[in-house]
Amino acid sequence: MQKKSCKIEHFQKLLSLSTELNNLMKNEFGRILLPIDGSKIAKKAGKKALVLAKTSGLEVVAMHVIATPSLPGLYGYQDAISYDEMHKFLQKNGQFYLDEIEKMGKKMGVKVSKKLVEGHPAEEIIKEAKKNDLIVIGSKGSTALERIFLGSVTENVAHHASCPVMIVR
């Protein structure tokens, strides 16, 4: 009989802590901003963001930035593919990444809104972030150099965002 009452007390304490954490997250943050680029580490960050959102009741804003410098003409591929074709391709990929996170959120019962923008990724993320947001971002991006070092986008966001940044490895 004592074991059963201990288990019930333990469960009640866990439930109380969960509620307390939920309230702390809601009081501290307005939403979770999740920049994604299709990399494995971005998906891992997405899972962490969704778990945080699920436990706190916060909304997730999944964001993909089409890096305008990656468009053709800058690398000498003008003849291989047109600007419009490349732009459509990048938009399609970005939308795919956003839809993937949205589906993951639906399975968990988490509301995910999607934002697809163009520009310099770090600048666009910083511009989108509000003071009471929590940015959850992967430590390394999808480019080869970013896989070697701490991602330049991640580093830039961590140093210049006006809100807390959680970096996922």
For the stretch 90-108, pLDDT in tens is: 999 999 999 999 999 999 9
Distance CA 147, CA 169 (A): 11
Q: Which residues of the chain have pLDDT under 70?
A: 1-5, 15, 69-80, 141-151
pTM of the predicted structure, to 2 decimals: 0.81
Q: Which ranges constitute the DSSP H helices of the chain? A: 2-28, 40-56, 83-108, 121-128, 144-148, 152-160
Alpha-carbon torsion, ordered 167, 42, 22, 5, to 10 deg: -100
* Domains and their CATH numbers in the chain: 28-168 (3.40.50.620)
131-145 tens-digit pLDDT:
999 999 999 765 554
Query: Residue 78: how many CB atoms within 10 A of its CB?
Result: 11
Q: Is residue 96 classed exposed, middle or buried when 0-12, 13-18 and 19+ CB atoms within 10 A define those classes?
A: exposed
Q: What is the bridge-based pairing of β-strands 59-67 and 165-168?
A: unpaired
